[in-house]
């Protein structure tokens, strides 16, 4: 099992016929003050699997780790099974994983990392930059 890609976005879904839709891909967040809560984001990952893994049960974990790589800010764990595709499908298939995160709090500016693990084995990571932004000017009145 290998990671094909991993993205952060404003929204994502999978259609009935298996197409992945992703909107608003980003790699940084700007905030005028910290800590800051991001109201909603989606982390999208696709894992590639081959015939030897069809039917395999596995634990998928998404972890958000702070800049010091010390603190786990958030963790989502799910149990998954690799499907067995129909005989006319490609031998290697992509498994799409979409995790919606609401009101995720980032304590300070810096580089945070989302890591994706399969049975405690890290398959890849995605860095998100949290940047201080100047406050908007006060309206004149």
User: Residue 138: inside a domain, yes or no?
Assistant: no
Structural domain includes residue 46: yes
Q: Any idea what the CATH number is for the domain that residue 59 is in?
A: 2.60.40.2550
Domain housing 124: 2-132
Q: What is the pLDDT of residue 141?
A: 65
In a domain, 112, yes or no: yes
Q: Mean pLDDT throughout 121-125?
A: 97
Q: What is the mean pLDDT of residues 96-107?
A: 95
Asked if residue 140 belongs to a domain, the reply is no
The percentage of the chain sitting over the pLDDT mark of 70, rounded to a whole number, equals: 99
Q: Is there a domain that residue 21 lies in?
A: yes
Partners of 81 in beta bridges: 57
Q: Distance between CA 87 and CA 71 in Å, rounded?
A: 45
Would residue 77 count as lying in a domain?
Answer: yes
The number of domains in the chain is 1
In this structure, is residue 45 part of a structural domain?
yes
Where b means 16+ CB within 10 Å and e means fewer, 5-18 reads: ebbbbeebeeeeee
Please state, rounded to an integer, the average pLDDT across all residues of the chain. Answer: 93
């Amino acid at each position: 099992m290998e990671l094909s890609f991993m993205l952060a976005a404003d929204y994502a879904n999978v259609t009935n016929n298996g197409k992945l839709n992703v909107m608003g891909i980003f790699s940084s967040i700007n905030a005028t003050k910290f800590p800051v809560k991001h109201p909603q984001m989606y982390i999208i990952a696709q894992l590639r699997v081959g015939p030897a893994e069809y039917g395999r049960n596995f634990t998928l974990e998404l972890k958000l780790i702070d800049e010091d790589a010390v603190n786990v800010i958030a963790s989502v764990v799910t149990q998954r099974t690799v499907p067995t595709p129909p005989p006319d499908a490609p031998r290697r298939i992509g498994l799409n994983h979409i995790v919606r995160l609401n009101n995720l709090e980032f304590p300070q500016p810096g580089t945070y990392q989302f890591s994706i693990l399969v049975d405690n084995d890290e398959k890849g990571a995605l860095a998100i930059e949290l940047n201080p932004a100047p406050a908007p000017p006060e309206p004149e009145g």
